[in-house]
C-alpha cells in the first residue's frame, strides 16, 4: 500500500496534485455510502464498497489530463491510490464488526488476513480508476476537434487512409434484423427447442458484436478529416444515442416496476445502435465511399 511519504511526494509534484486531491475528495463519499454495509446486522468479511464517487473522480481526472503532459492513465492510478484510503477505512471498520461474532480462532485469522485483503482492495481500486481515467482521456482526445481536423500538410500513415472500422458496424447493421427476426419468429411460431436455442445463441453473439460495432462507429466517426470535407460526423451523437436509449429504457422500466430493467435497456440499445449504424453507413457511403481516404 502507498505510504504517507508517497502522497507527500505526489502532492509536491504539481502535475499530479489535482489527481491526488480528486481521489482524496472522494474518500468521505466512499465511506459514507459504504457505511450501511458496515453497521448492517448481516456483515461480510471485507465489506461492500460504494465505488461511484471514485468513478466520478476518475472521469474528472481522465478529462482533465487528456491534453496534459501527464497521461490520464498515470493520473488515474494516483487518483485510485488516494481514494483507496476510503476502501481501507471501510474494510477495517467492517473487520472490527465481523470479528465480534467470530470464534477466537477465526478472529485471529481475520486480523492476520486484514492487511493482505486491504492491499488487494487498494490494488483493485487503483486499477479500476486508472482504466476509467484512461478510457475517458482516450474518448476526450478522440472528440477534440483540433485533432480531428487536418490540413494538406499533415502526413497521415497509409493504414489511416483505408479504414476497416466500418466493417463491424456494417456487420451489425446486416445481422441485427436477421437475428431479431429469427428470434421473434421462433417465439411466435414455436418451431422447436433446437431452433430457439440457435436463435438465443445468435442473440448473445449479437450483443457481443454490438460492443465492437459501437467502438468501431466511434473510432471511425472521430477519425482525422480534411478541414473542407463535405461530411464531418457528430461522433458524440452517433455513439451517444444507443447509450442514451439504454439509460432511458432502463429508467422507464424501473419506474414502471417491470421485471429485468437491464433487459429492456439492452433491447433499446440494440435497436438504437442498428438505427444509428444504418444512418452512419448511409452517410459514409454517400460522402466518403466504402474505403475512406478521409477517415480511420
Each residue's pLDDT tens digit, 226-265 = 777 788 899 999 999 999 999 999 999 999 999 999 999 9
Q: How confident is the model at residue 146 (pLDDT cuts 50, 70, 90)?
A: confident
**Using CA atoms, how far apart are residues 53 and 28, in angstroms rounded to an integer?**
9
**Using CA atoms, how far apart are residues 57 and 265, in angstroms rounded to an integer?**
26
**Using CA atoms, how far apart are residues 11 and 17, in angstroms rounded to an integer?**
5
Is the model's pLDDT at 29 over the cut of 60? Answer: yes
Cβ contact 61:76 at 8 Å:
yes
Mean pLDDT is highest, among 77-81, 99-103, 149-153, 191-195, for 77-81
**Using CA atoms, how far apart are residues 21 and 19, in angstroms rounded to an integer?**
6
> CB under 8 Å to 161, separation ≥6 — which residues?
292, 293, 296
Question: CB-based burial of residue 230 (10 Å sphere; 0-12 exposed, 13-18 middle, 19+ buried)?
Answer: exposed
Region for 48 from its dihedrals, namely left if φ exceeds 0, alpha if ψ lies in -120 to 50, beta otherwise: beta
pLDDT value at residue 219: 94
Assign 3-state DSSP to the chain and report helix, strand, coil percentages, each to 5.
Answer: 75, 0, 25
Mean of the per-residue pLDDT values for the chain?
A: 84
Is the model's pLDDT at 168 over the cut of 80? Answer: yes
Question: Within 10 A of 27 (CB to CB), how many other CB atoms are there?
Answer: 21
Is the model's pLDDT at 196 over the cut of 80? Answer: no
pLDDT value at residue 150: 67
Question: Within 10 A of 88 (CB to CB), how many other CB atoms are there?
Answer: 21
Is the model's pLDDT at 160 over the cut of 50? Answer: no
Is the model's pLDDT at 200 over the cut of 50? Answer: yes
Mean pLDDT is highest, among 141-150, 250-259, 287-296, for 250-259
Average pLDDT over residues 72-78: 94
Q: Scanning the structure block, which residue is given the C-alpha cell 486531491?
A: 21
pLDDT value at residue 230: 80
Cβ contact 47:38 at 8 Å:
yes
Q: How confident is the model at residue 290 (pLDDT cuts 50, 70, 90)?
A: low
Q: How far is residue 149 from each of residues 60, 103, 140, 142, 154, measured CA to CA in Å? A: 25, 67, 15, 11, 10
pLDDT value at residue 96: 85
Question: Within 10 A of 284 (CB to CB), how many other CB atoms are there?
Answer: 23
Q: How confident is the model at residue 43 (pLDDT cuts 50, 70, 90)?
A: very low
* Cα atoms in the Cβ-side hemisphere of radius 13 Å centred on 18: 14
**Cell digits for 93?**
471498520
Q: How confident is the model at residue 182 (pLDDT cuts 50, 70, 90)?
A: confident
Amino acid at each position: 500500500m502507498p505510504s504517507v511519504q508517497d502522497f507527500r511526494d505526489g502532492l509536491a509534484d504539481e502535475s499530479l496534485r489535482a489527481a491526488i486531491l480528486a481521489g482524496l475528495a472522494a474518500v468521505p463519499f466512499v465511506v459514507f455510502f459504504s457505511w450501511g454495509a458496515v453497521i448492517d446486522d448481516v456483515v461480510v468479511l471485507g465489506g461492500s464498497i460504494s465505488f461511484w464517487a471514485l468513478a466520478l473522480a476518475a472521469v474528472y481526472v481522465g478529462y482533465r489530463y487528456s491534453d496534459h503532459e501527464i497521461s490520464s492513465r498515470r493520473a488515474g492510478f494516483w487518483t485510485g491510490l488516494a481514494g483507496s484510503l476510503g476502501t481501507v477505512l471501510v474494510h477495517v471498520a467492517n473487520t472490527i464488526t465481523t470479528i465480534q461474532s467470530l470464534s477466537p480462532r477465526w478472529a485471529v485469522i481475520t486480523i492476520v488476513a486484514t492487511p493482505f485483503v486491504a492491499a488487494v482492495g487498494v490494488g483493485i481500486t487503483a486499477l479500476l480508476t486508472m482504466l476509467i481515467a484512461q478510457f475517458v482521456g482516450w474518448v476526450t482526445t478522440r472528440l477534440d476537434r483540433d485533432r480531428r481536423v487536418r490540413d494538406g500538410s499533415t502526413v497521415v500513415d497509409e493504414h489511416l487512409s483505408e479504414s476497416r472500422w466500418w466493417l463491424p458496424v456494417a456487420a451489425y447493421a446486416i445481422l441485427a434484423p436477421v437475428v431479431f427476426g429469427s428470434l421473434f419468429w421462433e417465439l411466435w411460431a414455436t418451431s422447436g427447442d433446437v431452433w430457439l436455442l440457435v436463435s438465443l445463441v445468435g442473440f448473445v453473439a449479437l450483443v457481443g458484436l454490438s460492443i465492437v460495432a459501437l467502438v468501431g462507429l466511434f473510432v471511425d466517426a472521430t477519425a482525422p478529416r480534411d478541414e473542407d470535407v463535405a461530411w464531418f460526423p457528430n461522433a458524440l451523437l452517433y455513439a451517444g444515442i444507443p447509450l442514451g436509449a439504454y439509460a432511458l429504457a432502463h429508467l422507464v422500466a424501473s419506474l414502471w416496476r417491470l421485471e429485468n430493467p437491464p433487459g429492456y435497456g439492452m433491447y433499446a440499445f440494440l435497436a438504437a445502435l442498428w438505427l444509428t449504424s444504418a444512418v452512419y453507413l448511409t452517410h459514409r457511403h454517400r460522402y466518403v465511399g466504402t474505403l475512406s481516404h478521409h477517415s480511420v
